[in-house]
Structure 1
């Protein structure tokens, strides 16, 4: 009895330290099977280099499996407004927070916070994923929005999508683009300090893997066309060459960018700082790009909206990330990496300008 009272007090404070899984839930409906990706020799060498920089905690050089996609229909599920996690019988459903490692890292499960209970009748779902996607376009477009694909295909009955009122403008806007053709879906807003117990909840699986922008072709084409259409993207006949600068960023800056810029200009590249553009302008810009050079960073998320382009990405030698290599793999884009010097505490580093120019000559 004492343990039950203790758990009740902890749960009323929004603190859940146990988790459960719904992978074998009787209502689980597989929407698409798993998929293996195969890599060439140069691709495997890059993936091995990346794995070594992470002490092999993630090693896609040994093989990459796109997870199966599924929907699980839960009864009397609780959704936490401070994180988007789903709770059943006092335990966090690990598939609602991506995986165990993110569950362990999330401050939403380490910091008690009063969450006021609300009971809601009807059918609900959610793609909230906090704090990861609070204002991060990478996590929004790869961890969140793709989860709606199978929900909207499979569910014809009225369904409410639980989101937060403090969504950044581009997130609310692109969510509306996605839902425009699905009259059965309606967005409802949960407060940061609320938890909703809903009569029925459809839990959609995450489609993405860690450090990967790879999406199944049907999903990435659906997402691309929805965003293109929503923003009114039009072919201009003007193919552009773009360098995405992080000169104003606090981390992952190219320290010898001043040496690099004249070389890029010689090959027709214009310098762009994504933070200076509206999201519609970013999508239109990437749609028109035939070649993109950039240090690793969230700005490369917009590769998702390129019609077709060649990509050169910079990495510090001690932190080589595979997000956009795998995104390009899914889109069929030509991808090359340049690995620079070892990064400092802010992950700033230098790149070999001659190595960059060799790639530019080929382009």
Structure 2
């Protein structure tokens, strides 16, 4: 099994290297689609930004907020971090609402094709390299994102709401849901339905229905839908899963504070956030990045008065209720910590992480900064070799370090 994993890792690295050489040597906007299905046209597709296409074809492109720098605090760390943490400023992208005509969209992505052989995909068109995870290499090596199999349907007009990461609770609350902000003040879009990925988890769909009453058109994963008039709200934040190289404070994960506040206000509603309970967020059901001594830690925190919660087994209301009343939140890093969006001011959060070089120590403290949460990372020791990419390796955390964090 280890030999198979090593061979898979070698093939993956070689494919990524090959694709990078192609993109540099031919044309920075041309990418191999890698699809061998005879029903699909293989070869190269030209990648354009939405802005450049709209300006070239005299289409509506409204800038709602310019690109800007946002502060990122130096994280508080107990244990030995994989790199020296620092503070600084990171770049948030330009926020816009574009109007496109006669295009094809792909379920599960923000990719748009305005004509054969061309795709609009800001994440690649506006980037200078791709040392990231499944979100960006998907275009080159995944069959679903090649040169567009036959369309499975047509919609006269709609708002684009499909997105990479839609099945992840953290991505949904911080990255997907806030896109609705950009359509709220457009009167002529009020009757337009939303194109939404059909496999959005129940808690995420519940969150969406609380924010909007629009008709929802389900788009199957990888399906192509033709749209006569498409309103495209841009991404507001940057979320990249880095699988190689060095964690980059400025580029990898940058969360827009206004997005976080939008989700908090829409979902928390009139609930009063009051710090009353201590909770431990379990990741026992996780398939990867498991905390190997979690049962030992659970027994320890129970003696300290903590209740154990598994967010993936809870409804949206149950998650909001318990996190909005938390005085202390402890647990291994994971999507459950998106619920810090609902935590009260002054809540103490302790995140347990491994010491892999690609472990990002910056993104959760951006939520903490936005809502005055006192966050500390406790760094444990990874068990190397089980997973590819290695950032998802299992790890363990010394209980004495945890005690230093929670007092």
Is 1:153 paired with 2:185?
yes
Distance 1:68 1:287 in 2: 31
Q: Deviations over 1:94-132 (max 9, x none)?
A: 1388976434225354567743354433x32212114x3
Return the structure number with greater helix share. Answer: 1
Distance 2:187 2:256 in 1: 20
1:336 is matched with which residue?
Answer: 376
Equivalent residue for 1:70, pick from 92, 96, 111: 96
Is 1:249 paired with 2:286?
yes
Is 1:92 paired with 2:119?
yes
Q: 1:328 to 1:155 in 2, by over 3 A?
A: farther
1:276 is matched with which residue?
Answer: 313
Q: 1:162 to 1:243 in 2, by over 3 A?
A: same
1:56 is matched with which residue?
Answer: none
Secondary structure of the corresponding residue to residue 259 of structure 2? helix
Secondary structure of the corresponding residue to residue 193 of structure 2? strand
1:350 is matched with which residue?
Answer: 396
The offset of 1:70, in angstroms, is 1.0
Distance 1:326 1:355 in 2: 23
TM-score, normalised on structure 1?
A: 0.79
Equivalent residue for 1:315, pick from 346, 353, 358: 353
The offset of 1:337, in angstroms, is 0.7
Q: Deviations over 1:8-47 (max 9, x none)?
A: x98973867432112343332111223323345x43989x
Q: How does 1:1-363 map to 2 (within 5 A)?
A: 13=40, 17-24=45-52, 25-26=54-55, 27-39=60-72, 42-43=74-75, 52=83, 63-81=89-107, 83-90=109-116, 91-95=118-122, 101=130, 102-105=135-138, 107-109=142-144, 114-116=149-151, 118-121=153-156, 123-130=157-164, 132-133=165-166, 135-157=167-189, 158-180=191-213, 185-192=214-221, 194-211=223-240, 215-229=255-269, 234-235=271-272, 239-308=276-345, 309-318=347-356, 319-321=358-360, 322-344=362-384, 345-346=386-387, 347-361=393-407
Distance 1:11 1:34 in 2: 42
Q: 1:14 to 1:302 in 2, by over 3 A?
A: farther
Q: 1:313 to 1:350 in 2, by over 3 A?
A: same
TM-score, normalised on structure 2?
A: 0.71
Distance 2:104 2:257 in 1: 32
Secondary structure of the corresponding residue to residue 368 of structure 2? helix
Q: 1:329 to 1:266 in 2, by over 3 A?
A: same
Q: 1:68 to 1:253 in 2, by over 3 A?
A: same
Q: 1:79 to 1:262 in 2, by over 3 A?
A: closer
Q: Which runs of 5+ in 2 are unaligned?
A: 1-35, 241-251, 388-392
The offset of 1:173, in angstroms, is 1.8
The 8 Å contact of residues 71 and 205 in structure 1, kept in 2 or not, is answered as: yes
How many aligned positions are there? 335
Q: 1:275 to 1:223 in 2, by over 3 A?
A: closer
Distance 2:65 2:375 in 1: 27
Distance 2:257 2:222 in 1: 37
2:16 is matched with which residue?
Answer: none
The 8 Å contact of residues 175 and 259 in structure 2, kept in 1 or not, is answered as: no
Distance 1:141 1:11 in 2: 38
The 8 Å contact of residues 14 and 109 in structure 1, kept in 2 or not, is answered as: no
Distance 2:71 2:273 in 1: 35
Distance 1:97 1:152 in 2: 27
What is the alpha-carbon root mean square deviation over aligned residues? 3.4
